[in-house]
Copies of this chain bind each other. A is one copy, B any other.
C-alpha cells in the first residue's frame, strides 16, 4: 500500500470490519471479501442486505455549455431523450470503435453530467478530447465516493435511514436525500442481480459516519460488509471491463447492439467503424458458457474454449454456481462457430477438458434451464 493506491472514505471502516483482501480499481482500493467464501457471500447477498465500499467507482464530472455535446460524442447510445435524474449504462468507444469503458452516465442537470466509471482513466480521455476539440467544458473528478447497499432488504434499510421517499425511486433513477444536514444523491442501482441502491456521497469527511450509520441500522436486517460477488455477477450477465471485454473489443461483439444507435441524427466518435462492422458482421460474440466437472474456483487466467479441436475463444470470468449447480462463465467466442455449434469444451487446466454448452446471458433466463440440466450430469 502507498498513496498511489488510493483509500476511500470508507477504507478505515472496512479495515475494522475484517477485510480479507483488496483489489485495485481506478487506482483505488476495492474490498474483495470479508472472511466469508464467495459462495457464502452469494447466498447472504440474495437473502439479506450488504454494504459495499465501491468508492473506486470514480466520477468524471462534465460541466458547462458543451457538456451535452461532449457526452453524446463519447458514446454510441442515443442520449436525446435522457432526462435529469436518470442513470444510463453507456459503453464508451474510441476512434477505432472499440470499448474503453462502460460507465453509468448520470444526468445531474442539462449541462452537468457524471460518468461513474469502470477501471480506466476516462478522465484523461474526456479531458484529451475536450482540449483537442476546444470545448467549453470543465472536467474533473469530484469528491464523490459511491457506497452500495445491495440485497432484498436494501429498500427496508434505506427507508429506515433516508425515509419513505426512497420507495419512489425507479430503477436506474436518482434523487437527493438528506444525511447529516447534507444533500446526497442516491440512485436505485448496483452491480448485483438484487434490489439495491448506490449512495454517491459527495463529502469524504462523512464517509465513516455514513458507513457506521448504515451498519447500525442494518443490524436488524442481518447486514454484512461485502463486495461485488463473482457468482452473482456472472449469473446476472453483468460484465466487467478489463475482464470480459477490453479495448480490443467492439460494443457489437459484447451484445450492446441496443446501445449502439446508427441514427443519422446523432454523431459520436467511432460511429463509422460501427456502421462498417454492422455491415460486415462482428468477429466475436459474448455469451455464457455452462460446463460440467468438479466445482471450479474463480478463473484467474482465461480458460480456453474449444469446438472440437479448434480454439474458439476464452472464458474470462468463471466460477461454480452453487444454486445452478454448474460451472458458469462469460466468454467471447468466434461468431462463425456459434451459428453451427452449441456444445463446447472448456480447458480448465492444461489438457483437462470439461464438457460445456453455450447459454444466453443472464443465466437465469428460462431457455437456459434445459441446457444447464443437460450439462450438469456430464464430466
Residues of A within 8 A of B (CB): 1-5, 7, 23-24, 27, 94-95, 100, 119-122, 124-134, 240-243, 269, 298-302, 316-317
| Bound form: Cα–Cα A235–B259 in Å | 52
Distance in Å: Cβ of A350 to nearest Cβ of chain B: 13
Is B1 touching A131 in the complex (CB atoms < 8 A)? no
B residues less than 8 Å from A316 (CB atoms): 3
B residues less than 8 Å from A300 (CB atoms): 1-2
| Bound form: Cα–Cα A121–B128 in Å | 11
B residues less than 8 Å from A133 (CB atoms): 132
Question: What is the oligomeric copy number?
Answer: 2
Contact of A3 among B124, B130, B302 (CB under 8 A): B302
B residues less than 8 Å from A131 (CB atoms): 94-95, 128-129, 132, 269
Closest to A317 in B: B2
- List, sorted by A's number, 21 A–B pairs whose CB atoms are closer than 8 Å: A2-B243, A2-B300, A4-B241, A4-B243, A5-B23, A5-B24, A5-B242, A23-B24, A24-B24, A27-B119, A94-B127, A95-B131, A120-B121, A121-B125, A124-B125, A128-B128, A128-B129, A129-B129, A130-B132, A131-B269, A132-B134
Contact of A2 among B4, B120, B127, B298 (CB under 8 A): B298
Distance in Å: Cβ of A59 to nearest Cβ of chain B: 15
B residues less than 8 Å from A302 (CB atoms): 3
| Bound form: Cα–Cα A84–B100 in Å | 31
B residues less than 8 Å from A1 (CB atoms): 300
B residues less than 8 Å from A121 (CB atoms): 120-121, 124-125
